[in-house]
Amino acid sequence: MNLLPEGVLTGSDVYFYTPSQMARSQLYYFTSVGRFFCESSYSVDREDYGNYLLAYVERGTLLVKTKGQRFGVHQGEVAFIDCHTPHSYWPLDAVDFTWLHFEGQNTAALHKMITAIHESPVFRVNDPQQFLKKMKNVVFQIKYNPVNNEYRDSMEIYSFLITMLTEHVVNLSKHESGRITETVINDAIHYIEEHLQDDLTVSMIAGHVGLSESHFSRKFRAAVNTSPKDYLIRRRLTRAKLLLKTTELPIKEIAFQVGFNSESHFTNSFSGMNGISPREFRKLKI
């Protein structure tokens, strides 16, 4: 008796996993994995499956509908789907794909970041064969190891997420527009470092590199994974840490040297970011 879903052919694999309480609270973890050889009659339509899906299409085209939009996942492409929201997928014709369902404490934030950077839940990775090999290895490990190594699984999932997160920046550098963007961002970062002590604004940085504030902010976030404003604050606080540890300057003077307009503003920002005040940080041994 074939217990596989309709349209999934013999030879396909599907395996389920029940994570420990420790994994659910502290790690990334798989819930099910598999490799499907499908006919056009296969389809999935869910409201909420309680996890995230990573699917790599080896042959054919998988059509995906998520968050009100429809996408085609073609051979050599990866789909990263939020299965907490209504979603569906089905083959355009025959399709082979390897898939991993997983979850983790901050997967939602990373999914949002990754799909925003790629401007789609569907994209290509720079080394598709290596990416697919790692996915197939996950299926193999769960198939032949009844007791899974949850720490290894968590590292594997994190590796997939970081690969998807960083691929976009690497792809940009391969194209002329990417080289221009890289030059703009490097120029902006150099300008920030040279003017940390000044009353610097995002508008001033954008003007220096010849872009509108909104256009510059989008490019900066895509390249550095943070806003220009957040980057500027963190660089000021990093410079302040060095001064706190290597000089005897008063804290008020340090605040002004790293671009804060008052000691109280500096202290509040420093404490908020680091959990301790500048005075307490200065007393800590290196």
pLDDT digits (tens, 9 = 90+) for 58-72: 999 999 999 999 999
Q: Percentage of the chain with pLDDT > 90?
A: 77
β-partners of residue 89 are: 44, 64
Report the mean per-residue pLDDT for the chain.
Answer: 90
Dihedral sign for Cα atoms in the order 242, 243, 246, 251: negative
Confidence at residue 226, expressed as pLDDT on a 0 to 100 scale = 87
* Least confident residue range of 69-78, 158-167, 175-184, 233-242: 175-184
Confidence at residue 179, expressed as pLDDT on a 0 to 100 scale = 54
**Region 173-202: what's the mean pLDDT?**
79
Q: Is the pLDDT of residue 168 over 70?
A: no
Interior/surface letters 66-76, b for 16+ CB within 10 angstroms, e for the rest: beeeebebeee
Contact 67, 85 (CB under 8 A): yes
Strands 87-91 and 29-38: unpaired
**Region 226-241: what's the mean pLDDT?**
94
pLDDT digits (tens, 9 = 90+) for 21-56: 999 999 999 999 999 999 999 999 999 999 999 999
Contact 113, 119 (CB under 8 A): no
| pTM reported for the whole predicted model | 0.71
Q: How many CB atoms lie within 10 A of CB 227?
A: 14
Contact 36, 10 (CB under 8 A): no
Which tokens is 252 given? 């008020």
Q: Is the pLDDT of residue 108 over 90?
A: yes
**Region 225-249: what's the mean pLDDT?**
93
In the chain, DSSP finds a helix count (H) and a strand count (E) of 11, 10
